[in-house]
Structure 1
Amino acid sequence: MSFLKINNATKSYGSTKVLHNIDIDVEEGEFLVLVGPSGCGKSTLLNMIAGLEDITSGTIDIKGQTMNGVHPSKRNIAMVFQSYALYPNMTVGQNITFGLEMHGVAKAERDKSMNEVAEMLQIKQLLNRKPGQLSGGQRQRVAMGRALVRDPDVFLFDEPLSNLDAKLRVDMRTEIKKLHQKLGTTIVYVTHDQIEAMTLSTRIAVMNGGYVQQLGTPKEIYDTPANLFVASFMGSPSMNLVPAKVVANGDGIFAQLPTGLSDQVNLKFSNPTEALKGFDQKEIVLGIRPEAITDPEGADRKAKHIEQITNRVIVTEPAGSDTYVMSSLGGKDCNARMRADAQVVAGQDVPFAINMDKAIPFDPSSEMRIA
């Protein structure tokens, strides 16, 4: 039985339906990330799990008990908000233990739990300070401590890192992941940041327009996106999506498309499916991650099939550990990820190695992956 089960859940405001038939089973100890653009319904779904929003239809169960209509205080969940929501007139220690005090927990037990959590989060030296005396990262740790001290069934995080600067966000990501590995808690985490989703989760639910577009492990989401939305949303830089035509002959199945040199190239698929063979002489959208297009010396030696083409460089972007190189494929700008010391300059015609093991075809009419 699932620890948290969302079964055919919908949410409407009047005649406007904002969540459509959501089905997600979360196992105990899992780290599920709900990711998607603003307005996709991910925070609404989190609030429904918390009981802050009523469910219109369907059910939400926690540990086998249906939560529909159950007050938030009776659900044994803990929520960490984007705004931290700390009481400014209380010390850090009082903020952490306030929930326990409201539930009638004895002071000795409150203090013991507070000290354990403060030790774990490395904030013992802050227990007597007020929130106004803390940095953003310290406030975030206090908000997490207030959640942890309650030992809930499910932790809910609502974009907890969005108010932090870039470096601190990376540091706190690591801290949250370490905490999850140490405690084995069940977490549902909302973010619009796909890097956060990829690095933190055991599974990701990619949402858009009130629908779950794909549910899977980070590797499944990244390597085999279900549709064009998931392909374009997940990954930084995003997947190259270029128009192509499927051509079949005795040598195999090819994606035919023009380069920036006005040449037509045929890129052979490594393992074409029967479904793809049915697209002979039809248009597709060819998806290739930037790291699957590189300089020949940097190509994956384990790849079954590498296609090498010559193309003209439009612009280069040195990024320290890598160099991003833009060229044109299928009439679209196409990003390649080359080694940091790759010798390429704008306007130059250079060889590109394309790992066709990683090429993903999509049906342009349905926008679904051709599986």
Structure 2
Amino acid sequence: MPFLDIDNVTKSYGNVEVLHRVDIGVEEGEFLVLVGPSGCGKSTLLNMIAGLENITGGTISIKDRVVNDVHPSKRNIAMVFQSYALYPNMTVGQNITFGMEMHGIPKPEREQKLAEVAKLLQIEQLLARKPGQLSGGQRQRVAMGRALVRDPDVFLFDEPLSNLDAKLRVDMRTEIKKLHQRLKSTIVYVTHDQIEALTLSTRIAVMNKGYVQQLGTPKEVYDTPANMFVASFMGSPSMNLLPATLREANGGLAAELTGAEGQQIMLNLSQNGPNLRSYLGKPVILGIRPEAITDADGVDRNAKNTQALRNMVHVTEPAGSDTFVETSLSGKACIARMRADVDVHAGQPFDFVVNMDKAVVFDPETEDRIVD
């Protein structure tokens, strides 16, 4: 049985079901990220694990113990909130140890734990300060310290970095990842930021409208999205989703598209299974990540199926280490990701190279990926 087992869990408010039969097993030491747009149910699920929301159906177990009716204080979980929730009249040290004091832990033990956590988070010099004297990043470290001294079975993070500026968010993301690598703790982390999800997690649950759309490793979710929602939500820029028709070509399958000037374009697929073959002559959606569309010098040398594609360039966007190039295929904007110094110009044709090993195909009606 998983360390944290979310089994067939539902949540309803009156007649409205907002979480639908969620099944997620989290192993000890895993870093699970719940990601999705606002209102998808991720924070509601986190609050149900914490005991802050009642469970309508199903069970949640921690270390083989069903906790549906267990009070939050008895679940041995620690939660880090978006708002930090620090006591303004207490020092940093008092904020961190307050929970232990309320649980009757002796002062020497509290002080020892405080010293360990302060060293781990590099906040020893802040222990005598009040929260009002701290920066946002320092307050977040204190909130994390308060959770760490508890030595819980599961850490729960509810969008802990959303109040920080962009640079500090990146820095704190790295700190949280380092912390997890050191402590090997079990973490469930909620965010709407797909970059956070991809960089922090060992597994991701992508959620939308109360359903888990896909559960998998960052690589699985990014490379083989289960459906068009996951494909478009995960990745920045998101996956290009291009209307195409499936054709027979050279003993295999090809996606037929229309170029920027109305020309026919055939892209041979690497896949050739029976499920995909059942779509011959039918409309499909071809999914290609921007980095799989590049120039001849930037193409992945390990790719087995690369194809030239001459098409008109509409817009170029230099972005430091990369240049994003917009063209169009089948009437849809299509983004390519290239090297910073690539010689490409708006209003001119360009010889793109497409890594078709990275292409995936979706059913336009169900929006699910076609799997063989």
2:252 corresponds to which letter in structure 1? G
Partner amino acid for 1:213?
Answer: Q
- How far the C-alpha of 1:261 sits from its partner, in A, is 2.1
Partner SS, residue 335 of structure 1: strand
Name 1:28's counterpart in structure 2: 28
Does structure 1 retain, via aligned residues, the 8 Å contact 2:159–2:191?
yes
* Aligned counterparts of 1:43 and 1:107: Cα–Cα separation in 2: 35
State the Cα distance separating 1:250 from its structure 2 match.
Answer: 4.2
- The CA deviation string for residues 206-226 of structure 1, in whole angstroms up to 9 with x for no partner, is 000000000000000000000
**Counterpart residue number, 1:169:** 169
2:105 matched to 1:105? yes
In 2, Cα distance between the equivalents of 1:180 and 1:326?
38
Distance 1:290 1:274 in 2: 28
Aligned to 1:253: 253
State the Cα deviation string for residues 193-248 of structure 1 (Å, max 9, x = none): 00000000000000000000000000000000000000000000000001000001
2:131 matched to 1:155?
no
Distance 2:332 2:249 in 1: 26
Distance 1:219 1:252 in 2: 27
Q: Where does residue 296 of structure 1 map in the other structure?
A: 296
Give 1:141's aligned residue. Answer: 141
- In structure 1, distance between residues paired with 2:226 and 2:256: 22
- Matched AA of 1:240: N
What TM-score, normalized by structure 1, do the two folds share? Answer: 0.99
Could you tell me which amino acid in structure 2 is paired with residue 137 of structure 1?
G
Counterparts of 2:251 and 2:22, CA distance in 1: 44
* Contact 2:205-2:216 at 8 Å conserved across structures: yes
Match of residue 341 from structure 1: 341
Q: Is the 8 A contact 2:249 2:268 kept in 1?
A: no
1:322 match: 322
How far apart are residue 66 of structure 1 and its match? 0.3
Matches within 5 A, 1:1-371: 1-371=1-371
DSSP 3-state at the match of 2:343: coil
Over residues 5-38 of structure 1, what are the superposed CA-to-partner deviations in whole Å (9 max), with x where a residue is unaligned? 0000000000010000000000000000000000
Runs of 4+ in 1 over 3 A off after TM superposition: none
Q: Distance in 2 between matches of 1:309 and 1:224?
A: 23
Contact in 1 for aligned 2:32/2:203 (Cα 8 Å): yes
How far apart are residue 296 of structure 1 and its match? 1.2
Q: C-alpha separation between the residues in 1 aligned to 2:45 and 2:252? A: 46
TM-score w.r.t. the length of structure 2 is 0.99
Structure 2 unaligned regions, length at least 5 = none
Deviation readout 1:80-123 (Å, 9 max, x if unpaired): 00000000000000000000000000011101000100000000
- 2:125 aligns to what SS in structure 1? helix
Aligned counterparts of 1:60 and 1:299: Cα–Cα separation in 2: 46
Number of residues of Structure 1 aligned to a counterpart in Structure 2: 371
Alpha-carbon separation, structure 2, partners of 1:132 and 1:15 = 44
Unaligned 5+ segments in structure 1 are none
Q: Structure 1 counterpart of 2:277, which letter?
A: K
Identity %: 72
What RMSD, in angstroms, separates the aligned Cα atoms of the two structures? Answer: 0.6
* Secondary structure of residue in 1 paired with 2:328: strand
SS of 1:141's partner is helix
